[in-house]
Amino acid sequence: MAFTNCYADAARAEAYARLEFANTYYLAYRDLPEIIREHVSGRSTLDFGCGAGRSTRFARRLGLDMTGVDIAPEMINKARELDPAGDYRLVNDDDFSKFGADIYDLVLSLFTFDNIPGFEMKKRLFRDLGGLLKPSGKMISVVSSPEIYLHEWASFSTKDYPENREAQSGDVVRIITTDSPDRRPAEDILCTDETYRDLYGQAGLNLLTTYKPLAHGDEPYPWINETKIAPWVIYVLARKNSN
């Protein structure tokens, strides 16, 4: 089955621009300030797959010097509209050759690899993004856990897609963002922890640590499964043979 980028869509860009850092999404962002402080030295940051700029603006408030990139012109246009002073760039075919090598202290990616089909494409992107890092640079990649496609959440629903339970790594899975006014399902690509670890190694990256954020239960959000099942996985990576 052909896979299309469901985020290259003006209506979806408009809807995703309204998303905040609440409910299940809160857990994807909650620990990032501490993780960045612990692992990253320097401020130069590339936000890969910035979408409408939510993660770029979040990271800039942490004091980072941000450049947001995306392949979807609809998303980049919305990011520029919301943040005219920001640096948002459209990249064609994920070509980073104009950026140069060894220039970023941090490559940040939130949810982007959920939507990238094909293990070879993922591996190439991890390798190319790793090449943008300074020798001491880090990559922080936030992805959906495989479990997110099997349960109900404060921000998501999968009950209409029982076929997700049969999906293997590399298969299409569907999920509805209930926080969004656009209730069309997103089509993501399931990728297991084992697959990610294999891809990192093949792409010349070392996995430094992994975080699986759970809700504490005292947050002001209507948790469903978030206190017992982690909806996100946060990977911290470095180039092999880096300092």
Dihedral sign computed on CA atoms, order 177, 183, 184, 185:
positive
pLDDT class for 187, splitting at 50, 70, 90?
very high
pLDDT at residue 3 in the model: 41
Residue 196 has pLDDT above 90, yes or no: yes
pLDDT at residue 95 in the model: 81
Q: How far apart (Å, rounded) are the C-alpha atoms in residues 103 and 88?
A: 17
Q: Are 120 and 203 in contact (CB under 8 A)?
A: no
pLDDT at residue 99 in the model: 87
CATH class of 10-239: alpha beta
Write out the two tokens for 7.
């985020």
- Alpha-helical (H) ranges within 159-232 are 193-202
Cα 200 off chain centre by: 15
Cα 74 off chain centre by: 18
Q: Lowest-confidence range among 1-10, 18-27, 202-211? A: 1-10
Mean pLDDT calculated for residue range 140-146: 98
| Among candidate residues 61, 98, 82, 67, the one with its CA nearest the CA of residue 16 | 82
pLDDT class for 173, splitting at 50, 70, 90?
very high
pLDDT at residue 32 in the model: 98
List pLDDT tens digits, range 66-120.
999 999 999 999 999 999 999 999 998 778 888 888 999 999 999 999 999 999 9
Residue 2 has pLDDT above 50, yes or no: no
The mean pLDDT of the chain is 92
| Among candidate residues 171, 145, 138, 148, the one with its CA nearest the CA of residue 242 | 138
Q: How far apart (Å, rounded) are the C-alpha atoms in residues 199 and 122?
A: 7
Long-range contacts of 212-218 (CB under 8 A, 24+ apart): 212/145, 213/27, 213/28, 213/30, 213/31, 214/27, 215/27
Mean pLDDT calculated for residue range 144-166: 98
| Among candidate residues 155, 173, 153, the one with its CA nearest the CA of residue 165 | 173
pLDDT at residue 168 in the model: 97
Percent of the chain, pLDDT > 90?
84
Residue 1 has pLDDT above 60, yes or no: no
| Contacts with 71 (C-beta within 8 Å, 6 or more apart), sequence order | 5, 8, 49, 90, 91, 92, 93, 94
